[in-house]
Structure 1
Amino acid sequence: MDLIGVAFLLILILFVLLGSGIWVALSLLGAALVAMEFFAGTETGTVMATKFWDSTTGWTLTALPLFIWMGEILFRTRLSEDMFEGLAPWMARLPGRLLHVNIIGCGIFAAVSGSSAATAATIGKMSLPELNRRGYDQGMAIGTLAGSGTLGLMIPPSIIMIVYGVAADVSIGKLFIAGVLPGIMLVLLFMGYVMIWAKLHPARVPPADFDYSFAQRLWASRRLIPVVLLIAAVIGSIYGGVATPTEAAALGVVGALVLSALTGTLTRKSFGESLMGATITSCMIAFILAGAAVLTIAMGFTGIPRALAGAIGELGLSPWMLLLALTLVYIVLGCFLDGISMVVLTTSVVLPMVQAANIDLLWFGIYIVLVVEMAQITPPVGFNLFVLQGLTGKNIFRIAADTMPFFLLLVVAVVILWFFPEVATWLPDQMIQR
């Protein structure tokens, strides 16, 4: 059997294992075991043990559990309520009014969470009942929340950026900085769409129930001060070169604990729950990363990545055609896998192709985050869709239909990123020059 045939066989084995309900990490390890035992001719036990250990002991990975813990702590504070009260007065005069609170609120919480599901759940628990009570269109309320919840992947600190940075050996600090402008771009795209929709459907947006003065807006904004300071401390310390991502994550945990204490939500129970939640999530991601690392080394021993890269090269695909093909692959994978699994599962095969096409790995990291954001709202297993189904009790395909415009806006964002790569690379370049 030639190497391309071996690759398809291993992919088939992997999908059979995943489809049987076996954990993603164990499925990755199973495919790696088959590859090394039958097609690599290497010492399977020694290689697996060594790679498994190496993949879980890297210093870079220490930022991951800290950022997850920071998000878990803040998830249990009154932060989301304060954000609604602080943002609502400023949104009252915009077309679409309080629908923008979903978008801006998700953008702000994404900057202190790093998780798409946590962002959608936290803001949704606060905003959906309030928007329904005030008579806002339920479909648009759900759509804005599902779409904007994906900002948790793009706006730093992002868990999936850490995963990609470790897998692709790209600076996590540069990835964080590269995600700032694309994150802002997505917020503006979402808000622009809501404004146009509101102008076209004025009857579906209730009138403002209170006319705030400028002084009242400023007074309400005091509720945003704590979270803005925390964002500035975490992101500013990385951009300013004062702290590494790991040190910034530790600073974020301390800041989250202080905020939790000041809001009166830091109790023995909440502290324990946040710590346990962070531990469970971190262990799950670390296990998946370890399985992916073993599969990567197994693929390397078989020579499959080199053969696939050569095959792609022989096809003569231009970089944009390669990215188009990868985008379709990732969208299909998003119907079956979560974002982290998608990244670690494909890195060993995709990166040789990307490097052969002379595509910047830093830029590609932002591209892959955008595509994974699409997967978060792709039925049947888009994570954000499940979160919103739990919050609303609606049919998941109804939720997916409400979210479709925001899926298309993410497609637009990928196109913009392709034609204007500086959206992702300009800020990191400024960081290097400094």
Structure 2
Amino acid sequence: MDPLALGAIVAVLTILTLFSGVSVAVGLLIVSGGFLLVFDGMRSLELLPEIFFGKLDSFALLSIPMFIIMGSSIASTRAGADLYEALERWLTRVPGGLVISNLGACALFAAMSGSSPATCAAIGKMGIPEMRKRGYPDGVAAGSIAAGGTLGILIPPSVTMIVYGIATETSIGRLFLAGVMPGLMLVVLFMVWSLYSTWKFGNKELLATGSYSWRERFEILPRVVPFLAIIAGVLYAMYGGVATPSETAAVGALLCLLVAMIIYRLWHPKALWVVLRDSTRESVMILFIIAAAGVFSYMLSSLFITQSIAEWIGTLEVNRWVLMIAVNIFLLIAGFFLPPVAVILMSAPILLPIITSAGFDPIWFAVVLTINMEIGLISPPVGLNLYVINGIAPDISLKTILLGSLPYVACMVIAIVLLCLFPSIATWLPDMVMGARI
């Protein structure tokens, strides 16, 4: 059978399998094993255990559970609420200080936890009721937190970036740095829209809030500064050549646990057990998907599907930006239905040769891909962050949350366009800190 036709069949059956309700990892293994059995025979199945466990035989993978523990220990405390309150006290005299505080808290908490749902939950529990109490539109209150939560997979340390780096054998340090400037750009775009929408709906009085004394501003800082110092220390150790990402993640996880135990008194064995249990569960899920995606990639390569698709696209006489638009549309659609980790692991083996042959930077592409995945987090039918916000504020309908999130989707599309026009937004910082690549 023609590899391209076979690839189309694989794509359709994979989508149907994943929509059947089975987990992503199990679905990939079923599809991979089935096609290898039909086209390569029983002997090909003997290699699957070796491929499955071989994909996990990487020291870099240790950074995933460590960063997850780091984020879980933060998410299990009042760090999010304290961070939000600290920003509110310091920005209260700034026009639109409350909505800026929420988005700023989302950005900082995302940098500490690396989790979109955790960011939405931690900041939303405080931010949404407070904004609604002061008269902000429900769409602005819910949409800003839902969109701000997506920054968790872009601003370092990002598990999504780690997975991309492992899947494409790209420097994780460079990927982390590449997400900093685009992440800040998105924060600014979100803030601009939030202030405009507040003004547009006639809530000009919301652009100025109350005031706090200097004593009230400083008394909250000891609770949040240690966590921010840990993040800064982890990033310095990683980029200063002190340690590898896995080593810095381990130290960061230990320090975050210690700070949570000392400052927030998270010393009870049951509380610590919950942190470690949830971290283990999430880590195993991601590692299971990584291993299954390795088997899926082997199947695509063994049946010459990956090579044939790359060769076919290479023969197309189309502008490389037309090709990039097609890739973005594919990523958007995939992100609507699948979690970011699954999309990256399934698409990276096919897309990486295509984008590199078209002259695109894989570091830059990682940022574009991640922003596409951010859009999927606040877009139906999956839209994980939408449901998290609905759980926090059940009296706000999903329709209102979705409509409130759509302008932020437009902000993300604008960010992708800006990255296409000015790729250095993503590549400048990695090149400056780690040196330009040859």
What TM-score range do you get, normalising by the shorter chain? Answer: over 0.9
SS in 2 for 1:177: helix
For residues 282 and 410 of structure 1, the distance between their equivalents in structure 2, rounded to whole angstroms, comes to 28
Q: What is the DSSP-based 3-state SS (H/G/I as helix, E as strand, rest coil) of the residue aligned with 2:242?
A: coil
Distance (Å, rounded) in 1 between the aligned partners of 2:224 and 2:276 = 25
Tell me if the contact between 1:113 and 1:152 (Cα under 8 Å) persists in the aligned partners: yes
Aligned partner of 1:133: which letter? K
Residue equivalent to 1:292? 293
Q: Deviations over 1:368-412 (max 9, x none)?
A: 111111111111101111211211224323311110000000001
| Distance across 2 between alignment mates of 1:214 and 1:43 | 72
Equivalent residue, structure 2, for 1:374: 375
CA distance in 1, matches of 2:207, 2:337: 41
Give the alignment of 1:120-135 within 5 angstroms.
120-135=120-135
What whole-Å deviation, never above 9, does each CA across 1:252-291 have from its counterpart, x for those lacking one?
1122112212221332111100000000001111111111
Give SS of 1:150's match: helix
Q: Distance in 2 between matches of 1:39 and 1:325?
A: 30
Partner residue, 1:314:
315
Report the alpha carbon displacement of residue 35 of structure 1 after superposing the two structures with TM: 2.7
Q: Is the 8 A contact 2:109 2:119 kept in 1?
A: yes
Q: 1:420 to 1:214 in 2, by over 3 A?
A: farther
Map of 1:49 onto structure 2? 49
Match of 2:93 in 1: 93
Match of 1:420 among 419, 422, 433: 422
Does the 8 Å contact 1:109/1:119 carry over to 2?
yes
Cα separation, partners in 2 of 1:40 and 1:427, compared to 1, 3 Å: farther
Moved more, 196-205 or 140-149: 196-205
Question: How far apart, CA to CA, are the structure 1 residues paired with 2:397 and 2:340?
Answer: 22
Aligned to 2:76: 76
- The 8 Å contact of residues 93 and 210 in structure 2, kept in 1 or not, is answered as no
- Matches of 1:418 and 1:326 in 2, distance apart? 13
Per the alignment, in what secondary structure is the counterpart of residue 278 of structure 1?
helix
CA contact (8 A) 1:379 1:396 kept: no
* TM-score, normalised relative to structure 1: 0.95
Q: d(CA) in 2 for partners of 1:322 and 1:91?
A: 44
User: Once superposed, what is the RMSD of the aligned Cα atoms?
Assistant: 1.9
- Asked if structure 2 preserves the Cα contact closer than 8 Å seen for 1:107 and 1:152, the reply is yes
**Conserved in 2, the CA contact under 8 Å of 1:144 and 1:403?**
yes
What is the DSSP-based 3-state SS (H/G/I as helix, E as strand, rest coil) of the residue aligned with 1:5?
helix
* Aligned mates of 1:207, 1:365 — CA distance in 2: 36
Per-residue deviation, 1:219: 5.1
Deviations for 1:318-349, whole angstroms, at most 9, x for unmatched residues? Answer: 22212211111111112211111111121122
Q: Is the 8 A contact 1:95 1:198 kept in 2?
A: no
Matches within 5 A, 1:8-27: 8-27=8-27
Q: Matches of residues 147-186 of structure 1 in structure 2 within 5 Å?
A: 147-186=147-186
- Partner amino acid for 2:124? G
Other-structure match for 1:354: 355
SS at match of 2:156: coil
2:336 aligned counterpart, secondary structure: coil
Assess if the C-alpha contact under 8 Å between 1:102 and 1:123 holds in 2: yes
Partner of 1:431: 433
1:235 shift after superposition? 1.5
Structure 2 residue aligned with 1:143: 143
Is the Cα contact below 8 Å between 1:4 and 1:304 reproduced in 2? yes
Q: Which amino acid aligns with 1:198?
A: T
Distance 1:60 1:95 in 2: 44
The worse-fitting range, judged by mean Cα deviation, of 127-136 and 167-176 is 127-136
Contact 2:336 2:381 in 1 (8 A): yes
Higher alpha-carbon deviation: 10-19 or 270-279: 10-19
**Structure 1 residue matching 2:359: 3-state secondary structure:** coil
- Residue type matched to 1:140 in 2? V
Match of 1:343? 344
Contact 1:35 1:299 in 2 (8 A): no
Verify the 8 A CA contact 1:178 1:427 in the aligned structure 2: yes
Q: Which moved more, 1:410-419 or 1:395-404?
A: 395-404
Letter in 1 for 2:417: V
Map of 1:327 onto structure 2 = 328
Residue in structure 2 matched with residue 303 of structure 1 by the alignment: 304
Look up the SS of the partner of 2:203 in the other structure. helix
Residue 137 of structure 2 contacts residue 198 of structure 2 at CA under 8 Å; is this kept in 1? no
Instruction: Say whether the 8 Å CA contact 1:95–1:199 is kept in structure 2.
Output: no
Q: Partners in 2 of 1:113 and 1:7 — Cα distance?
A: 38
Structure 2 SS opposite 1:56 = coil
- Unmatched 5+ residue regions in structure 1? none
Q: Could you tell me how far apart the structure 2 residues matched to 1:117 and 1:15 are?
A: 25
Match of 2:403 in 1: 401
Pairing 1:194-209 to 2, within 5 Å after superposition: 194-203=194-203, 206=206, 208-209=208-209
Distance in structure 1 (CA, Å) of the matches to 2:6 and 2:118: 39
Corresponding residue number in structure 2 for 1:193: 193
- SS of 2:409's equivalent in the other structure is helix
Residues 73 and 274 in structure 1, CA contact (< 8 A), matched pair in contact too? yes
Q: Is the contact made by 2:332 and 2:373 (CA closer than 8 Å) also made in structure 1?
A: yes
| Structure 2 residue matching 1:241: 3-state secondary structure | coil
CA offsets, 1:49-99, max 9 Å, x none? Answer: 111011112111000001011111111112112112210123223332211
For structure 2, which runs of at least 5 residues remain unmatched after alignment?
none
Deviation at 1:208, TM superposition (A): 4.4
Q: Does the 8 A contact of 2:179 with 2:367 survive in 1?
A: yes
Note the 1:222-237 alignment, pairs <5 A: 222-237=222-237
SS state at 1:28 partner: helix
Contact 1:106–1:123 (8 Å) recurs in 2 = yes
Residues 1:388 and 2:389 are matched in the alignment = yes
- 205-214 or 178-187: bigger deviation: 205-214
* Local SS of the residue matching 2:360: coil
Name the stretch that deviates more: 83-92 or 149-158: 83-92
Per-residue CA deviation, residues 204-240 of structure 1 (Å, 9 max, x unaligned), is 6536452345675455545431222122112222122
Q: How far apart, in 2, do the equivalents of 1:291 and 1:281 lie?
A: 15
Report if aligned partners of 2:332, 2:372 keep a CA contact under 8 Å in 1: yes
Counterpart-to-counterpart distance in 2, 1:65 and 1:317: 42
Compared with structure 1, are the counterparts of its residues 207 and 329 closer, same or farther at alpha carbon in structure 2 (3 Å cutoff)? closer
28-37 or 139-148, which moves further after superposition?
28-37
Q: Secondary structure at the match of 1:317?
A: coil
